[in-house]
Structure 1
Amino acid sequence: MGPHRPCNDMLPQAENLLRTIAGEETGWVPRQELFFNNPRIVQRVLGRPPVGDFREELDFACEIGWGSVRATSWGARIGARNETASDGTSHYAGGSAIEMSDLDQLRGPDLDLLASTYAERASLVRGEGLLVHLFMLHCFHSAATGLGMERLCLMVYDQPELLAEYMRRVEAINREALAAVLSTGIVPDIAIFDADCSFKTAMMVSPAAYRELIFEPTAATARMLHDAAIIMLMHTDGRINEVYPVWLEMGVAGAHGVEAQANDLAEVKARFGNRMTLFGNFDPVILATERPRAIRALAREMVETGRSGGRYVAAVNTIVGDHVPVENYLAMIEGVDEAARA
C-alpha cells in the first residue's frame, strides 16, 4: 500500500482485511461480501427502513463488520440483449453478433462524473476508517455476456482478430476510467475485476485460448494498478483450477468466489493459498434454503478449512440476494465469527 493509507487511520476490520490480503496470518479471519443486495438484512442490522443511498451502504458496512466499501464501478459492453418479463422486470436475454465496425460503439463511463462521484464516496469511506474498493467489468466477462457464450466460443476459431480487438478495447476503456479515478488524488486500496470465465466443470474456453485472449490487455491494466500500489483482485464463478494460474501471472493478490458447487476449498487452499488470498466459499443456494442452525455449522466448518495459513476471507461465493432470509445470513455470520479467531 502507498503512503496515502496509514494503518492507524483504519478500523480494526479494515486493517485485518488489508493484512490478510497481503499474506499475513493475523489469527482473525475477516468477513467481506463483494456482491450484496438484500434490503431486509440492511434494515435488521441498521434498525431503520432502508433508503438505498451511499450513506446507508457505508453505515451498513461499518455495522456488519466489513473492512472495505465500493466507491465506484463501471463496465463497457456491446451486444447484450434484455427482454421484459411478464412481471415487468428486465432480464438478460443473450448476446448479439457484431462486426469490427461495431466496436466503435464501445463506450466507457462519463469520466468527469465518475471522478467526482468516486472522490465524494471515497472521502466518506476513508473518513469512516474503511478501505476503498472499485469494480470494473473484465474484458472476457464483457465479451461473454455482450456477444453470448456460444458465439464467443465460435469466434475463438472463426473471428479471433475481432474477439481479440474487443478484449483490447474494453481494457483500454478500463484504463481510461482508472486514470480518471487516480486524477482525484484518492488512490483506491483495492480494484476488483468482475471476470467470470468458467462453468462448474471447466473454463468457458480452453486455458490456452483464454490466456491468449486476455493476457496482454489485462496485464496492461494490471501494470497500471501495480504502479499505483492498488491491490488487484478478480472474481469468477465456476471451476478455477485452470483460471488462477493465469491470474497469478498477472500479479493478482486475491480471488473471490471459489464456488462451492464447483471446487473443494481445502484443495484450492492447498494449491493456491500460499500465493493468493481466497474469498469465499459459502454456497448461496444453501444460504437461501437451509435452516439457520445448519448454516451456522456449515459456516464454521468453512472457516476452519480456509483459515489454515492465513490468506482467507469468509464470504458467500456469489451474491447475497434479496431472496436470502435475514436469519440465514445472520446465522452464517455467527458461524464464521465462532471459528474466525485462532
Structure 2
Amino acid sequence: MFPKFLRSAMLLMMLLFALSACTTTTQTNLTPVMAEMTATSSPTFTATPVLPAHQSTVTLAPTITSAPVVTSSGDKATFLEENYPDGSILKPGESFTKTWKIKNTGTTIWNTAYALVLSTAIPGDALGSPQQVYVSQPTAPGESLSLSVPLTAPNESGTYTVYWSLQNDSGQMIEIDGGETIWTKIVVCGTGQTCLPAATGGSSITSGSVSASLTSFTPGAESSTAAFCMTYPDNSGGWLPSAGSIALLVDGQTFLAISGGSLQTTACFQFEFPVGAAMLAQAQKISVSIGSIRLSSGSGDPQAQCEAARAILTQQYQGLDFTCQFSFSGYYTDLKLPAGMSVSQADQLITDAIERAVYGPWLLTVR
C-alpha cells in the first residue's frame, strides 16, 4: 500500500491534470518513482549484446579452431538470455557452467548434430571448454533452447574471454543476431585483491510485456548507483518503477534505494543504494531488483481510470464496490467490502487497478 504522503502527492498532481485537461497537454515531469513493493526471487538469466560480424584479429589457442567461413542461409538465431554476464568475478580455479538461451529464427529445424563450437580465447585460455557441445533436442523455427558449457576459471588473476560459434550439421556457421559468435567474459580475482563488479551494463531480462536492461553499475566508497532502462506494456507514457520495489540484492541481503528517479528519457532511471565498494568486493552475488511498475500521476484521466477499474473489480470480487470520486484524500469513497477482505487489501486492489500496476520482479544481475 502507498504511504499516505505519497498518495496525497500523487492525487494532487492527478487533480491538477484533470483540471487542465480541457486546455493544452503538459509534458510529464521527471519525478521520483512511487508505491511500495518487496522484491522477490527471479530468473537468474541475463542478457548481453552479441558481437557484430566484424571482429579484430585475435590470437588462437593451440586447441581452438577458427569459425567456418561458410554461413548457412536458412539458419538464423537470436540471443535471448545468459547467466554470468560480462565482468562476472570468479575465484581462481572456480568451476561454473555458462548457459545461453537462444531462439531459432531461421527456416530450418536444428537437429542434434548442430553444435556450439569453441572458436577463440583471449589471452589463450579456453577455461577448460570442450571443443563442441551438441544441441540437446530438435529445435523448430520459433522455438528456444539453452546451451550450457562447463568451465573452470584459471588460477592466474586477470580478465578472460572465450568465444564460440553455433554451427549446423554441415559445419556451416549460424549467425546470431548478425554476429559470428557468443562469448563469456570473466574476471578472476585472486586472494587479497579488491575486485569490483563491472561498471558497464548489458544485463537484461523480460517478463511478460515488460523488459529491463542494466546500463551501468558504479560502486562508490559509501554508496553505489545503478542505471537501467525499461520497455513498457504500451506507448501511453507515464510508466514508472514503483518506489520501495527498487532494491540492491547482495548475497541475500536487501538494500532499498535511498534516492533516484528518471533520467532525461522517461524510460531510463538511476538509483543510489547504501552499499559501498568494500562490501561489494566481498560479495558473491549482486543484482538489482525491480519489483513492479505503474502509471504515474498526470498520465491520464483519474476518474475514467477509476471507473474502468471498478467495472473489472466488482465483477471479479463479489460484494466489493466503491464510488469513484477523485479528490485529495483518495480515488474513491463509500467502500463496501466482501466477506474476508480487509480495507488494506481492497485499497491495494483498487489502487493497483487504477494505476495499472504490473508486477515483476525484474532481476538484473551485476555479478
Compute the TM-score of the two structures, normalised by the length of structure 2.
Answer: 0.24
Q: Greater strand percent: which structure?
A: 2
Q: Greater helix percent: which structure?
A: 1
- Report the structure number with the largest CA radius of gyration: 2
